[in-house]
Structure 1
């Protein structure tokens, strides 16, 4: 993994070095603008294309490295994990329900108006 990291970081250096070593051949044979000498491209279009490919390759490698790191972080035994079902029954004491239907609420009744005491 370390070698992949180092190789991906130096891929641009290798592209530049290869371009410098083979610039004459690239400008004569591989340049997209070889029929347009007034542009003075001299193979720089080929260099730009190769640099873009190297960058895309680096990004792809980085995504794969991140994915593999995430996969290493997950335990392999997670698929074999099961919950044990235990039957636990909680017993609560039985409480009587208060019967409020037959109660009188004499405290809350308004005073009666008695006509004999007036």
Structure 2
């Protein structure tokens, strides 16, 4: 059962990268039909298109659709804030420069004196 789930998840992850191969396989199997019926250049045989224009359009449409989905996914992704503006800062003995920009620090639950002993930079 686990192996089946692994294969299903692997297929789901790899599907976007495999989908152009499906389009190319469809073109290879139905090349004659596409060249006779769906090709834009079927009336001009000197171009030797043989349905490649149809294949290019399908691949471009598929890529555009995937790009649009990716853009929507990125735009709708929730933002996770890892840092916040420091309510207090731990001074390690270095002089603090006056900087007009806000200082950011990790979210710390409370100041502990044992932390200040452990988190000291090495002396040169």
Local SS of the residue matching 1:63: helix
Q: Greater helix percent: which structure?
A: 1
Q: Which of structures 1 and 2 has the larger relative contact order (alpha carbons within 8 angstroms, sep 6+)?
A: 1
Select the structure of larger CA radius of gyration.
1
Write the distance in 2 (CA, Å) between the matches of 1:59 and 1:12: 13
TM-score by length of 2: 0.51
Write the distance in 1 (CA, Å) between the matches of 2:63 and 2:44: 27
Partner of 1:54: 62
Q: Structure 1 unaligned runs (5+)?
A: 76-118
TM-score by length of 1: 0.53
After TM superposition, where is structure 1 displaced by more than 4 Å over at least 4 residues in a row?
Answer: none
Task: State the 1:67 CA deviation.
Answer: 2.9
Tell me how large the CA RMSD over aligned residues is: 2.3
Q: Structure 2 unaligned runs (5+)?
A: 1-8, 82-124
Aligned residue pairs total 72
